[in-house]
Structure 1
Amino acid sequence: MLTYIRRRLDEHSELVNKVLENIKKNQSEVKNTIREMRNSLEGLNSRVEDTEEHISALDERLEEITQAEQKKEKRIRYNENSLKELWDNITHANICIIGVSEGEERDKGAENLFEEIIYENFPNLRKEIDIQVQEAQRAPNKINPKRPTPRHIIIKLSKIKDKERILKAARERPQVTYKGKPIRLSADFSAKTVQARREWHDIFKVLKGKNLQPRICYPSRLSFRMEGEIKSFSDKQKLKEFITKKPVL
């Protein structure tokens, strides 16, 4: 009986030892697996950090490029505005005659043609002021065969106030003519200034409807009278900022 019990104990002891060995072996494998997973995770973290640094560097470079482009656009706008202002200052005393057929000035000259227009439309004004013409010629741009409108005639006067009086008189007439045919007299603005003046058109009509006496001042400022004061704006953004404070508009 004792022999049997010893034998059974030995068998159980051997089985337990095998189980313990298997457990130790499995623990070792699990540790190795965990170590491998940790190494892989560290590698992934390292690559993520490298990627984040690369993205950060790209973001910084993009910001530099964006700022450079903004500065470039700002310089371009500044140069365009400077050129527009220079042109408008040079042509401040100019009158532009629109609608006179090509060749009309060939025999008599553009200056004499301008004098005929003044006599025909503003005879009293001609007696009141001594209009002095410095230069008179057709605009140098070529005739477009697809749009056969005559080139403008540019009259450069000696005095700005003479130009303003003539244009004021032209606005007060129902029609300005040359040899009975309708023409137009206007200031000689740059293309950008002409566009800037046109952009005030709808706002001008609204202000006029409210009896605020709007005017488009030289070269492209909008002014109107409100509460006894004259308000003047160079662009729509400044007008918008003013309107937010004066919702009555």
Structure 2
Amino acid sequence: EKEIKKIQEYEGRIRELSDAVKRNNIHIIGIPEEEKREKGAEGVLEQIIAENFPDLGKEKVIEIQKAQRTPFRYNLNRSSAQHGIVKLAKYKDKEKILKAPRDKHTLTYKGRHIRIVADLSTETWQARKDWQEIFNVMNRKNMQPRILYLASLSFRIEGEIKVSPNKQKLKEFITIKPALQEILRGIL
């Protein structure tokens, strides 16, 4: 029992370190392979910003530290769209770039739909995905849920905003909130 807790604690620390290293990174999904070869990931990001958020590009120059393609298995039977990772010099630039698609809803690159997301560890994406069903139920009940960085759930109840870092803490919290217990019955 003690060893299992210790292992989980170490795994959590490793995940946090991995995500900290990726803090300024964004992940671009859906760019055709040939485009990346021609322009490089930096050029592609600049084109995406110019095409989708002209105001963002005018504010100031977004400094790119490094850009690279992610490893990909090439499939000759279909056209390939690779992923790219761009490391920005400033975290604020990353936040601006990630916020812009929320306002616009769809992003394009030369007419093709693309996505830009935060570059997080697989474990963090899984932890965020684990909140999805609870998030959807709370959203239908107008509790204004949000998944916070890294993978905590924030929601409004009785005029207050509560944050739960994991499902265990949420289970403990709902024991004193019968209305929330009813809403999440069978899910948690």
Q: Secondary structure of 1:92's match?
A: coil
Structure number with higher strand proportion: 2
Shift in alpha-carbon separation, 1:195–1:122, aligned structure 2, 3 A: same
How large is the RMSD of aligned CA atoms in angstroms?
Answer: 1.9
Tell me the residue number matched to 1:133. Answer: 64
Tell me the residue number matched to 1:219. Answer: 150
Q: Which has the higher contact order (CA 8 A, sep 6+)?
A: 2
Alpha-carbon deviation of 1:107? 2.1
Alpha-carbon deviation of 1:129? 3.8
- Asked if 1:238 corresponds to 2:169, the answer is yes
Identity percentage over the alignment?
52
The one-letter amino acid of 1:102's match is E
- Asked if 1:154 corresponds to 2:85, the answer is yes
The one-letter amino acid of 2:24's match is A
- Asked if 1:109 corresponds to 2:20, the answer is no
Tell me the residue number matched to 1:170. Answer: 101
Greater gyration radius: 1
Structure 2 residues without counterparts, runs of 5 or longer? 181-188
Structure 1 residues without counterparts, runs of 5 or longer? 1-69
Shift in alpha-carbon separation, 1:224–1:147, aligned structure 2, 3 A: farther
Stretch moving more, 178-187 or 162-171: 162-171
CA contact (8 A) 1:95 1:188 kept: yes
Structure number with higher helix proportion: 1
The one-letter amino acid of 1:84's match is R
Q: Secondary structure of 2:47's match?
A: helix
- Asked if 1:97 corresponds to 2:28, the answer is yes
Tell me the residue number matched to 1:72. Answer: 3
The one-letter amino acid of 2:22's match is T
Stretch moving more, 177-186 or 158-167: 158-167
Q: What is the number of equivalent residue pairs in this alignment? A: 179
Stretch moving more, 112-121 or 125-134: 125-134
CA contact (8 A) 1:96 1:185 kept: yes
What is the distance in 2 between the residues matched to 1:101 and 1:80?
A: 35
Any idea what the Cα deviations from partners look like across 1:49-90, whole Å, max 9, x if unmatched? Answer: xxxxxxxxxxxxxxxxxxxxx343333322221111001111
Shift in alpha-carbon separation, 1:71–1:146, aligned structure 2, 3 A: farther
Shift in alpha-carbon separation, 1:225–1:93, aligned structure 2, 3 A: same
What is the distance in 2 between the residues matched to 1:146 and 1:217?
A: 39
CA contact (8 A) 1:117 1:178 kept: yes
